[in-house]
Structure 1
Amino acid sequence: MTPITEVEGRRLALSNLEKVLYPATGFTKGELLHYYATNAGPLLAHLHDRPLSFLRYPDGPDGQVFFAKNVPPGTPSWVTTAEVPRSEGPARMVLIQDLASLMWAANLVTEFHTHQWRIAEPGVADRLVLDLDPGAPATIVECCEVALWLRERLAADGIEAYAKTSGSKGLHLLAGLTPAPSEDVTAYAKRLAVEAEGALAGLVTHRMTRSLRPGKVFVDFSQNAARKTTATPYTLRARAEPSVSAPVTWDEVVGCTDPGGLVFLAGDIEGRLERYGDLLAPLLDSGQAGALP
Structure 2
Amino acid sequence: MTPITLVEGRRITLSNLDKVIYPETGFTKGELLHYYATIKDTLLPHIHNRPVSFLRYPDGPDGQLFFTKNPPPGTPDWVKTTPVPRSDEPSAEQVVIADMASLMWAANLVVEFHTPQWPADSPAVADRLIFDLDPGPPATVVECCAAALWLRDRLAADGLHAYAKTSGSKGLHLSVPLHPTPSAHVSSYAKTLAQEAERTLPDLVVHRMAKALRPGKVFVDHSQNAAAKTTAAPYTLRARARPTVSTPVSWAEVEACRTPPDLLFLADDIPPRLARHGDLFAPLTDPDRAGRLP
Give the shorter-chain TM-score range. Answer: over 0.9
- Other structure's SS at 1:61 match: coil
Match of 1:106 in 2: 107
Mapping of residues 30-69 of structure 1, within 5 Å: 30-69=30-69
Q: Distance in 1 between matches of 2:261 and 2:193?
A: 28
Q: Distance in 2 between matches of 1:182 and 1:156?
A: 21
Mapping of residues 1-293 of structure 1, within 5 Å: 1-88=1-88, 89-293=90-294
- Tell me how far 1:90 sits from its aligned partner: 2.7
- Aligned CA-pair RMSD: 0.5
- Tell me how far 1:287 sits from its aligned partner: 1.0
Amino acid at match of 1:254: E
| Deviations, residues 50-76 of structure 1 (Å, cap 9, x unaligned) | 000010000000000010000111001
- Tell me how far 1:272 sits from its aligned partner: 0.4
- Tell me how far 1:273 sits from its aligned partner: 0.4
Q: Unpaired segments of 5 or more residues in structure 1?
A: none
Q: TM-score w.r.t. structure 2 length?
A: 0.99
- Other structure's SS at 1:267 match: helix
Amino acid at match of 1:218: F
- Tell me how far 1:276 sits from its aligned partner: 0.8
- Other structure's SS at 1:5 match: strand
> What's the % identity of the aligned pairs?
69
Q: Distance in 1 between matches of 2:178 and 2:67?
A: 28
Q: Distance in 1 between matches of 2:139 and 2:277?
A: 29
Q: Distance in 1 between matches of 2:196 and 2:134?
A: 17
Q: Distance in 2 between matches of 1:138 and 1:102?
A: 35
Q: TM-score w.r.t. structure 1 length?
A: 0.99
Q: Distance in 2 between matches of 1:129 and 1:150?
A: 11
Q: Distance in 1 between matches of 2:70 and 2:91?
A: 10
Q: Unpaired segments of 5 or more residues in structure 2?
A: none
Amino acid at match of 1:270: P
